[in-house]
Amino acid sequence: MSKKLRKSSIGIRIQEFHEGLKDIVNYPLKEMYIPTTIQVGKAATLATHLKGRDYVDDYRALIGLASQLGISGLELRQVLRELEEIDFVRIVESGSGIGGIRRVELKIPELRDGYEELGERWLQLHPSEIEQASVAILDEVASFPQGEGNLRSTLGLSDKDFDIIIDIGTSGLLIDRYNNDGEDLLYSPLTVEEKPDTLLDLAQQFPEDLIVTTLKTVQGYQGIPIDNLTGVNKHFAAQAMRLGALCPVQIASSATARTFLFTPRGGLKIEERVILEKARAILACVRYGEHYPEVRKIRYPHLILETLRDNKRFRYSRPDFPEQYGLLVIQQIGRIEPDTRRPGFYNFYLIDTPENMRALNIAIDLLEIGLSPTSKLEVDATALLNIGGSFLGTLPTRAKLGREVTLSRETARNYILKIAKLTRGVDE
């Protein structure tokens, strides 16, 4: 790598590679060129989601959860082995049953320390030059847009290898490029969340008054359904999501996916985005109940969230809680229990952890004033909420909505030539 990265930064970046690429299927470049990064990135995602638990004794359920995280049942054992190598888990074998695993004991540390150890594990596995450069480039452009020519010369890679890295990064919308006064600049949509004042001038594509009006609309109504925007405003929002100027959250119910928009929150440490994602998930579920309920619309969202904060549960049971808030159960933000006095009705209870309470307070702030105070985002965070069967957080939603994956001409040509060599039994 051109510069020595902190191990915690490495841990974060390799997780972002997995998160950005996990919903892209049949994509050979990630398997061919960044396998170590993807493998340890999967371990990072699993660890951040399981943090706060002491054990898992239902391996079948763990397989189900892992599948929501982009980790297949066949891969899960190896991902757990990676976590076992850094003493995050202890696998208790059964010798029979699903996977031959009876119990997984968890000892996952604080998120900041966890990323440090995951970064160390990645280094121990001796990642290739392309993998090291991929992590370095993502870290560079996520900090600040970089001149492409300067990066090419600094890293000393061949043009072919550099193009492969950029193709992988753009496929997951981790890296993108734009032209500024004749110079190609590389940037990351992640930068908006980390440093919003350094990004693109969308006025090159849209009138300034449209940009200001749309962003103010979203800030004034955080979690607004994209369906509520029409015409050019909706077109601008789609472009703003792709560039990272708006943060999308997607919720699916009854086979229909709904996208909710949030403005980015700048000036945050990378780890602090975890708590912000949880807050967005909570508010998105409430917005879903306002706009797309199966039973009865939420009329007073502020009262709903304040009641949940004060009582750690909703006041009344309802028949539609499993559908409306089951997403948060998957994320371990809450649980749903049948109402013993009213058959067919359910109560929702908040899981009272510091992280969940912090996220709930931020969701209330987003609802009230459209802003999330930095003081509520100091992190000893638990689970990343950009996972779950029906929930996609900002990064994977942006990758999924952004565009179809395409390879540059040279990368596609080199890939085809490499595959062709297999028929002759030779390689470079």
Question: Domain range for residue 225?
Answer: 206-402
Tell whether 412 is covered by a domain: no
Tell whether 428 is covered by a domain: no
**If you average pLDDT over each of 34-38, 298-302, 326-330, 395-399, which comes out highest?**
34-38
What percent of the chain shows pLDDT beyond 90? 23
Tell whether 366 is covered by a domain: yes
Across the range 232-261, mean pLDDT stands at 82
**Mean pLDDT, the chain, as a whole number?**
79
304 within 8 A of 286, measured Cβ to Cβ: yes
Tell whether 161 is covered by a domain: yes
pLDDT at residue 43 is higher than 70: yes
Please tell me which residue, 110 or 195, carries the higher pLDDT value: 110
Tell whether 296 is covered by a domain: yes
Identify the H or E element spanning 228. Answer: none
Tell whether 356 is covered by a domain: yes
Identify the H or E element spanning 17. Answer: helix 7-21
**327 beta partners:** none
Q: 92 CB contacts (<8 Å, ≥6 apart)?
A: 101, 102, 103, 104, 105
Tell me, what's the pLDDT at 134?
Answer: 96
Residue 285: strand, helix, or coil: helix
**If you average pLDDT over each of 120-124, 179-183, 242-246, which comes out highest?**
120-124
Tell me, what's the pLDDT at 145?
Answer: 75
Domain count, the chain: 2
Q: Within this chain, do residues 174 and 249 fall inside the same structural domain, yes or no?
A: no
Q: Within this chain, do residues 243 and 361 fall inside the same structural domain, yes or no?
A: yes
Q: Tell me: the pLDDT tens digits for 55-77?
A: 888 888 888 878 878 899 899 99
Confidence of residue 194 (pLDDT cuts 50, 70, 90): low
Q: Within this chain, do residues 46 and 86 fall inside the same structural domain, yes or no?
A: yes
pTM: 0.63
Q: How many CB atoms lie within 10 A of CB 245?
A: 22
Please tell me which residue, 206 or 378, carries the higher pLDDT value: 206
What percent of the chain shows pLDDT beyond 70? 75
| N-to-C CA span, the chain | 23
pLDDT at residue 85 is higher than 80: yes
**If you average pLDDT over each of 194-203, 204-213, 340-349, 413-422, which comes out highest?**
340-349
Q: Within this chain, do residues 150 and 241 fall inside the same structural domain, yes or no?
A: no
**If you average pLDDT over each of 264-273, 277-286, 356-365, which comes out highest?**
277-286
87-90, long-range: CB < 8 A, 24+ apart: 88/47, 88/114, 88/117
Please tell me which residue, 181 or 9, carries the higher pLDDT value: 9
Q: How many CB atoms lie within 10 A of CB 219?
A: 16
Q: Within this chain, do residues 228 and 85 fall inside the same structural domain, yes or no?
A: no
Tell me, what's the pLDDT at 406?
Answer: 62
Q: Within this chain, do residues 166 and 220 fall inside the same structural domain, yes or no?
A: no
pLDDT at residue 241 is higher than 60: yes
Q: Tell me: the pLDDT tens digits for 291-310?
A: 987 767 888 888 889 888 88
Q: Within this chain, do residues 267 and 175 fall inside the same structural domain, yes or no?
A: no
Please tell me which residue, 49 or 44, carries the higher pLDDT value: 44
Closest residue by Cα to residue 85 from 148, 39, 18, 127: 39
Lookup: tokens for 31: 């398997």
Tell me, what's the pLDDT at 298?
Answer: 81
Q: Within this chain, do residues 180 and 211 fall inside the same structural domain, yes or no?
A: no
Q: Within this chain, do residues 136 and 267 fall inside the same structural domain, yes or no?
A: no
Q: Within this chain, do residues 144 and 275 fall inside the same structural domain, yes or no?
A: no
Q: Tell me: the pLDDT tens digits for 339-371?
A: 888 888 888 888 888 778 888 888 987 887 676
Q: Tell me: the pLDDT tens digits for 93-140?
A: 876 666 688 889 999 886 567 889 999 999 999 999 999 999 999 988
Tell whether 347 is covered by a domain: yes
pLDDT at residue 280 is higher than 60: yes
**Helix pair angle (148-155, 159-171), 10° resolution:** 120
196 within 8 A of 266, measured Cβ to Cβ: yes
Q: Within this chain, do residues 213 and 172 fall inside the same structural domain, yes or no?
A: no
Residue with tokens 């209330």: 364
Tell whether 262 is covered by a domain: yes
Q: Tell me: the pLDDT tens digits for 367-414?
A: 876 766 544 544 332 332 223 334 455 665 655 555 456 667 677 656
Tell me, what's the pLDDT at 400?
Answer: 56
206 within 8 A of 242, measured Cβ to Cβ: no
Q: Within this chain, do residues 175 and 287 fall inside the same structural domain, yes or no?
A: no
Q: Tell me: the pLDDT tens digits for 146-169?
A: 889 989 888 889 999 999 999 999
**252 beta partners:** 257
Confidence of residue 269 (pLDDT cuts 50, 70, 90): low
Q: Where would I find the beta strands (DSSP E) of 254-299?
A: 256-262
